Structure formats: C-alpha cells, structure tokens
Structure 1
C-alpha cells in the first residue's frame, strides 16, 4: 500500500478548484463555437433561398428578400438581427445575409453570400 505524505492532504481539492474554471471556460467556448457555426449555416441557407427565389424565371423584384425573410422567421434565433440584401445585376443575382451569432460568452459577426444566374429560356435546339 502506498502512503501519502502528510503534506499532500487536501491537494486533490486544490487541484480541482484550480482546474474547474478552466473546464467551465472550455465548455462555454465550445457552446459558443457551435452557436457561431449554426448562425453561419442559417445565414448561408437564407442567402441560398433568396438567390433561388430571385433567379427564377420572370420572378418579380423582391421575391428573394421575402423568401429569405420567411426562412429566417422559421429558422430560430441562432442568427440575431439578420439583414438580407439582394442585388440583381443583369443576369447575376447575389444575396448577402448578415447578423450576429447568439451570445454565450461573445457574439460574433456573421456574413454569408450566395450567387446565381437568372433563368432564361433560349430558342436554341439541343441535339
């Protein structure tokens, strides 16, 4: 049997008291990183929804903005204060969704952009 020296009594409690804040910090940091990734995914999906709606054949202006807004309303609160910007430049459509991630320790800015081409029918025949 191994005996501890008298001077080592209570050292486990002191070690635990020192390590416990570090463990809590790592736990909250991992939750914050997960919230940031979820916010990025929500922003990207909303931008893709906006581009998909806006690039549809004969889609009226503002269709992408409306669809992205509906998507964000149903996506939960992972993206705080979202702002959707849809730009239609000739045959190109781009949508940018910005906001902030949910805050546990810190809030991070999130910005995602999707691009697409407007659908057009052509009279060319394919073989």
Structure 2
C-alpha cells in the first residue's frame, strides 16, 4: 500500500463560511472597497497628476531621441568628410576623387543626414593639404525642428619629398 502525502493548508477543503482559495470573490471585493474608501478626498488624483506630467515626459523623450539623431547625423557627416580626405590625398588623385567618395558614402549611409546634396561635399586641395567639408541637416523626429550639421576633415597630401 502506498502512503499518501500529508495534507497541507492548501490541500484541505475550505470551511463552509469562507470562499475557496486565497482570493475568493468576497475577499477581493472587500479589499477593493477598503482601498476606495481609504482614498478620501484624494480619490482620482492620480489620473490628473498623470495628465499634467505626461506632456513633459513626452517632450523629454522626443528631445532625447532628436539629440541622438543629431549625434548620428554629425557622425555620418564626419565619416563622409574623412572618407573624402582619404580619397583626395592619395598620390596623384583625380580632382573630384574626394567629392565622389563622400557622395558614395552618404548615399550608402541612409537618411541620418538629409539635404546634403544641395551644396554637396566640397574638397579643396593645396600642394600640401586637403580639406573636405560635408554639410546638411539631421533627420527631424520633432516636426519643424531642424538642426544644421557641418563637419570638416583635413589631412596632408601624399607626395614625393627629398629626405
């Protein structure tokens, strides 16, 4: 004969006057009535507080997202400018090598930096140095908000020198 496990409080049947389980319908109703009665004149204040605070929370949320998008746009412009300098400073590079490389980079980078086509990337080269500039504006998360982005990179031109 196998022995049965001992009965615990959970496995015992509920008394006749008490609802079954820890949270019977009678107990839940009593707890809710107690909580509602305890609120007194403050009852319903939480939704009003939330309605007052929620616009500020949303403004902070969208502002932080817009700031992050601006940083990504700056990083994209700087990477495009550095790529242009690396292409333009090569030994005997064609005159538009930097501009073409920056344009290719910006087309592949996505829409973090917008309106960069109108002035386009610019590169100026002297006998010893190359400077490239990429300008545009960051993608707008908040309607009507525009942040200008302009990044510049420069480097020496590769050339033969005497030692």
TM-score by length of 1: 0.91
Using the TM superposition, name which of 65-74 and 1-10 deviates more: 1-10
Q: Which of 6, 28, 34 is the matching residue for 2:62?
A: 28
Q: Which residue of 2 aligns with 1:95?
A: 132
Using the TM superposition, name which of 57-66 and 114-123 deviates more: 114-123
Structure 1: gaps of 5 or more residues: none
Secondary structure of 1:61's counterpart equals coil
Post-superposition shift, 1:27?
Answer: 0.8
CA distance in 2, matches of 1:5, 1:112: 58
Secondary structure of 1:116's counterpart equals strand
State the Cα RMSD in Å: 1.6
The higher relative CO (CA closer than 8 Å, separation ≥ 6) is in 1
Post-superposition shift, 1:6?
Answer: 2.0
Post-superposition shift, 1:79?
Answer: 0.1
Q: Which residue of 2 aligns with 1:52?
A: 86
CA distance in 2, matches of 1:52, 1:68: 10
Secondary structure of 1:94's counterpart equals strand
Q: Which runs of 4+ in 1 moved over 6 A?
A: none
Post-superposition shift, 1:90?
Answer: 2.2
Q: For this pair of structures, how many residues does the alignment match? A: 124
Post-superposition shift, 1:5?
Answer: 5.0
Larger Rg over CA atoms: 2
Q: Which of 146, 156, 160 is the matching residue for 1:107?
A: 146
Structure 2: gaps of 5 or more residues: 1-33
